[in-house]
Structure 1
Amino acid sequence: MAFDGITIAALVKELDENLTDGRIAKIAQPESDELLLTVKTPAGQRRLYISASASLPLIYLTAENKPSPMTAPGFCMLLRKHIGGGRITAISQPKLERIIHIDIEHLDELGDLCKKTLIVEIMGKHSNIIFCDDKGMIIDSIKHVSAQMSSVREVLPGRRYFIPDTMEKQDPLDTDKTSFASLLKSRPAPIGKALYLCFTGISPVAAEEVCHLAGLDSSMTARDLSDDMMTHLYRQFSYYFEQVQNKTFAPAIYYSGSDPKDFSALPLSHYGAYRRQEYSSVSELLGTFYAAKNTMTRIRQKSADLRHVVQTALERSRKKYDLQQRQLRDTENRDKFKVYGELINTYGYHLPEDASELTALNYYTNEDVTIPLDKNLTPQENAQKYFNKYNKQKRTFEALSGLIKDTADDISYLESISNSLDIAQNEDDLLQIKEELTQSGYIRRKYTKKKIRLTSRPLHYISSDGFHMYVGKNNLQNDELTFHFADGNDWWFHAKGSPGSHVIVKSGGNELPDTTFEEAGRLAAYYSKSRGSDKVEIDYIEKKHVKKPNGAKPGFVIYYTNYSLVIDSDISAIEEVD
């Protein structure tokens, strides 16, 4: 993630242009670590979303509102008391730190003009929102940090606010060639790493970009650089940060296929292999980039229980499968015992009573074989003993062959559910997966008067040739699509040998163009466990040739004489229909 000091600088520019001189009309705290400020400005109403979440700290302008708790938390009430109706006088960034200062003027109880500062620290798990007076003393914070929690800095009411400088980094906007070279040479690390270790506000992505602009391998150390190379690196470093000083930002998200790879407030030339989507606003960029991240994070949290059920069942089935395979291997020599019994019956008539072995010609291989014997048994009893052993292992082999197939089917089925959880997009999808697990016996059904409505629907795309393509998001939808929705002459696609979605292309009785076959294949590849691969083998066939065996698990089908294609899993160019 490139949420570094450069992105903060671009965001501060945008917030300053939009919020300075605005009045704080509303303060809400939707979550324990979030604030939502509504600011009235001459240009209209603006909402500022601030999150100090350890997993996803954020700050940006948004048009969306969020519901607040019935009773406002203490920190929210404190802010309402002090700065409700206050005017934002300035928004700034100290040096190039991942910190934003929002200076606010307001009137106290006596009508006197007072100044306060709301400080937003975007620092990963150490992120915080701190409220200070005009003397730099902390009034309160959304997260309290005691001496037991941090030996570097306490964040508690009554303590003085300061920025901890544990790494002794230098401001990249205020450095010369001599100090630049000296700092880099003081670090034995590669220059890519040394750049973000020596200077504030630089992410690994930005450091890599500076090295790329200078034409240098970021894995080299500063001591490997000649004076000319160091001068060239400093020149590119200066050019890069001139854009920050001049506030000439170019916000963009870089996509790998349809997945957002990263974002930046300045161009990233070393991301040339990725698709670049530009934005006029840093807030719009952050909202777009993190909307999907927020959704997926929330869905992953809500699907944790279902994943645990599936993973536990998978581990149990895999252990059972391994045990059954070992037991099956123990029966591999069962035919040998049958041969032993036959040879004893054939050659055992001349054996002495206390014989412990029999050496005889195996008439199946024309080789001599030595057969161990029990001295306490007659030849006929020894032969019967081997026949019994053969029959027992034969029965075991036959029983295990069926059990192993059933266990393998269970593993394949559970892997398909795991894939369904990976592509789930909302809570309705999770409800349908839970219903499937309940129907399959992995979750005990809870009887309730309230009936749960399943409203999840398959994904819907349109090919570049205008054909409608549908993708099942779980096994129940796969069955519904294939056996109830699709017509006989529609086309069915699935990733070969990999858990994944059924893809149906509605042909309307027409012949499909090659482009549509390729796009449907890409959908089948993307919505499978092979997502991200450059080459995925896809089976496709007319739907009328796809059958479901009696008693088969949801999503399981059989087919013969299918066609195949090998395709990538990039669906960025395929239009999705809401």
Structure 2
Amino acid sequence: MLRNYFTLYHAAAELHDRLADGYLFEIHSQQKNELTLAFVTQEGEHLQLIVTVRSPHFSLYTREGLNRKNRNTASIMTKVYERQVTGVAISPADRQISLALDDGHALVLRMFSAETNMLLVRDGVIVDAFKDARKLENTPFGETTAGTPYFRALEQLASDPALFRRKLEEGDSTVPLDRRLLAMLPGFDHKLVRRLLAITESDATEQLYSAFVAIFYDLASPTPCVIENPGEPPAFSLFPPAPEGEATTFESVIDALNHYSRKMYRHLHLRERAVAMRRELTAKIGKLEKELAANAGHDPEEISQRNERYGHLLTGAIGAIEPLDAAVTVPNLFAPGSPDVTIPLKRGLNLQENAAWYFTQAKKNRKKAAALKLRRAELRAELDHLRQKLATLDEAESTDRLQQALETSSSSGRRASGNSKNKKEKMPPFKTIPISDKITLYIGRNSANNEKLTFGFAKPDDLWLHARGASGSHCVLKGATMRHTSEIQRAAEIAAWHSSAKHSELVPVICTQKKYLKKDHKTPGNVIIEREQVLMVKPLRE
């Protein structure tokens, strides 16, 4: 429901409350198909509106604070910077959100599934566009119109069962019911129609009407939530969650979209890592299986026994046979009555020297056999280890289990082989949580790990977080500055969860730069903080 008309309807109303009479600070793009509109609200707070185009996983969400642009940032539509926002509204009959500016321009967010775009419009003409600017520039901007706005038309149907019946009967009865409902219910998409039919006990008009009324009032006064079921990507919904589902509800649609976007970003990030890890593990498994198969046809132990037998046979033939050629044939003393044995000889050596040479080769082959036996055991152990890692990845249903599986699997696939025989397998030293595409939170696992994270891993300008007055994990936020208030808030919520105060309603969390920390040599595990800020947050799991 990310680009559903009703989601955008409520999002536009909430954005109007936040942005009206504020100022458009700047517009830029740092990621492909992602657009950031930075605003200063009427209260003087910085707020970013992030819009994603050509992606089924995101639509729009907000982030508090001022985002520092990186080198690859492209500034867009600079002519409307620092203009006042006079209002935010959605088209009454289309998925287009307009941000009106005081100079007559309007920024129009076209939230169509495959053609999401942002247009700069003035006097009914497209002046600029985020995507396909050359194609759209100076073309007329046609806003979809309707005799009755979507919500008003639906409200009329919901309050008048006779009108609902008449509209349904006016449709062609040969057309499937879902298509007729799609045509008569403005703003409804295929998902909403499927939901309507799913909760209808029969095709009777009265049943359809009752189900429609229930859905309409849920859409008019939504319960936005984010659903997180194990093994499935997070999902955004305007409807109350099912009792058996795992869902978090929110008071506003924008808050729910923000939470959904964070969860979806993390889900996609972990899935991408999982795909890369599966590819790496599969390649390593194939390489080890190939090595095992190649070694299967080579048996140094058998060669060692043959060479030792040749040495004994040559020793027994000394004085009885003279070596005149490249080989000698001697009786098989180990199996009387069996055919004679032909033994290759080293030119220039007598029988005694050839026997000594075969004994030496037998000794070398025994060593090779022992090394090969050990290597095969190591290869089988490695294969079992890698296959277990692959199985753990495949079985990880929840995001947390996938995170744990990736942390375990990200270590080296070879544990004790070749040149790495004496090297221990490296485990990720800290728990990592992506907060955004550029910002990562690192969490200590225990007291020793906390000290390593803070005083061995963190750089002077990295942000350090810890629950105040409670024991817990040290947390380091990399890629962020004190301006990234939204990301810091999220990191503080996670830091509070990883403390002994996790069950409190609100937890004070210290935030400072690592350069303002010193070791407390009197009390191991403690730090001395020279400068700090304290945030009151609700503990939330990552």
User: TM-score normalized by structure 1?
Assistant: 0.49
Take 1:320 and 1:453, find their aligned partners in 2: how far apart are those partners? Answer: 26
Take 1:125 and 1:441, find their aligned partners in 2: how far apart are those partners? Answer: 50
2:102 aligned counterpart, secondary structure: strand
Match in the other structure for 2:21: 21
How far 1:139 moved relative to its partner?
Answer: 1.8
Residue pair 1:36, 1:47 contacting (<8 A) in 2 also:
no
Amino acid at match of 2:240: P
1:240 aligns with 2:226: no
Residue pair 2:226, 2:235 contacting (<8 A) in 1 also:
yes
Residue pair 1:25, 1:40 contacting (<8 A) in 2 also:
yes
Residue pair 1:118, 1:130 contacting (<8 A) in 2 also:
yes
Match in the other structure for 1:101: 98
Amino acid at match of 1:236: A
Q: Note closer, same or farther for the CA distance 1:233–1:456 as it changes in structure 2 (3 Å cut).
A: same
Q: Note closer, same or farther for the CA distance 1:197–1:457 as it changes in structure 2 (3 Å cut).
A: same
Residue pair 2:20, 2:42 contacting (<8 A) in 1 also:
no
Residue pair 1:89, 1:103 contacting (<8 A) in 2 also:
yes
Match in the other structure for 1:254: 227
Q: Note closer, same or farther for the CA distance 1:235–1:416 as it changes in structure 2 (3 Å cut).
A: same
Take 1:44 and 1:140, find their aligned partners in 2: how far apart are those partners? Answer: 28
Match in the other structure for 1:309: 280
TM-superposition CA deviations, 1:284-341 (whole Å, max 9, x none): 11111221211232344456544422233345667999x89x99xxxxxxxxxxxxxx
Match of 1:174 among 153, 171, 176: 153
Q: Note closer, same or farther for the CA distance 1:160–1:282 as it changes in structure 2 (3 Å cut).
A: same
Match in the other structure for 1:144: 132
Q: Note closer, same or farther for the CA distance 1:69–1:196 as it changes in structure 2 (3 Å cut).
A: farther
Q: Note closer, same or farther for the CA distance 1:157–1:426 as it changes in structure 2 (3 Å cut).
A: farther
TM-superposition CA deviations, 1:11-55 (whole Å, max 9, x none): 112112221222223434332433333333334425132222423
Match in the other structure for 1:361: none
Match of 2:193 among 207, 211, 216: 207
1:273 aligns with 2:273: no
Take 2:271 and 2:143, find their aligned partners in 1: how far apart are those partners? Answer: 34
Residue pair 1:299, 1:424 contacting (<8 A) in 2 also:
no
How far 1:117 moved relative to its partner?
Answer: 1.8
Residue pair 2:2, 2:236 contacting (<8 A) in 1 also:
yes
Take 2:419 and 2:181, find their aligned partners in 1: how far apart are those partners? Answer: 52
Residue pair 1:88, 1:103 contacting (<8 A) in 2 also:
yes
1:5 aligns with 2:2: no
Residue pair 2:19, 2:42 contacting (<8 A) in 1 also:
no
Take 1:97 and 1:416, find their aligned partners in 2: how far apart are those partners? Answer: 49
Q: Note closer, same or farther for the CA distance 1:471–1:311 as it changes in structure 2 (3 Å cut).
A: farther
Take 1:294 and 1:197, find their aligned partners in 2: how far apart are those partners? Answer: 35
Match in the other structure for 1:85: 82
How far 1:6 moved relative to its partner?
Answer: 1.6
Residue pair 2:109, 2:119 contacting (<8 A) in 1 also:
yes
Take 2:381 and 2:404, find their aligned partners in 1: how far apart are those partners? Answer: 29
Match in the other structure for 1:294: 265
Residue pair 1:253, 1:260 contacting (<8 A) in 2 also:
no
Residue pair 1:299, 1:425 contacting (<8 A) in 2 also:
no
Residue pair 1:309, 1:442 contacting (<8 A) in 2 also:
no
Unaligned stretches of 5+ in structure 2? 155-162, 298-336, 340-371, 421-425, 434-443, 450-538
Match in the other structure for 1:523: none
Residue pair 1:16, 1:90 contacting (<8 A) in 2 also:
yes
Identical amino acids, percent of aligned pairs: 14
Match in the other structure for 1:375: none
Aligned-residue CA RMSD in angstroms? Answer: 5.3
Match of 2:412 among 436, 455, 467: 436
Match in the other structure for 2:123: 134
How far 1:159 moved relative to its partner?
Answer: 2.2
Take 1:418 and 1:274, find their aligned partners in 2: how far apart are those partners? Answer: 26
Match in the other structure for 1:230: 205
Take 1:209 and 1:92, find their aligned partners in 2: how far apart are those partners? Answer: 27
Match in the other structure for 1:364: none
Match of 1:285 among 242, 248, 256: 256
Q: Note closer, same or farther for the CA distance 1:24–1:164 as it changes in structure 2 (3 Å cut).
A: closer
How far 1:233 moved relative to its partner?
Answer: 1.1
Take 1:95 and 1:116, find their aligned partners in 2: how far apart are those partners? Answer: 19
Residue pair 2:59, 2:111 contacting (<8 A) in 1 also:
yes
Match of 2:137 among 142, 153, 157: 157
Residue pair 2:228, 2:246 contacting (<8 A) in 1 also:
yes
Q: Note closer, same or farther for the CA distance 1:280–1:576 as it changes in structure 2 (3 Å cut).
A: closer
Take 2:144 and 2:384, find their aligned partners in 1: how far apart are those partners? Answer: 52
Task: Map 1:51-130; keep pairs closer than 5 Å.
Answer: 51-55=51-55, 56-70=57-71, 72-73=73-74, 76-78=75-77, 80-81=78-79, 83-95=80-92, 97-106=94-103, 115-130=104-119
Amino acid at match of 1:285: A
Q: Note closer, same or farther for the CA distance 1:182–1:406 as it changes in structure 2 (3 Å cut).
A: farther
Residue pair 1:23, 1:86 contacting (<8 A) in 2 also:
yes
Amino acid at match of 1:266: F
2:16 aligned counterpart, secondary structure: helix
Residue pair 1:318, 1:411 contacting (<8 A) in 2 also:
no
Q: Note closer, same or farther for the CA distance 1:233–1:427 as it changes in structure 2 (3 Å cut).
A: closer
TM-superposition CA deviations, 1:112-164 (whole Å, max 9, x none): xxx122121233342222222221x2222221188xxxxxxxx5212223469
Residue pair 1:49, 1:58 contacting (<8 A) in 2 also:
no
2:17 aligned counterpart, secondary structure: helix
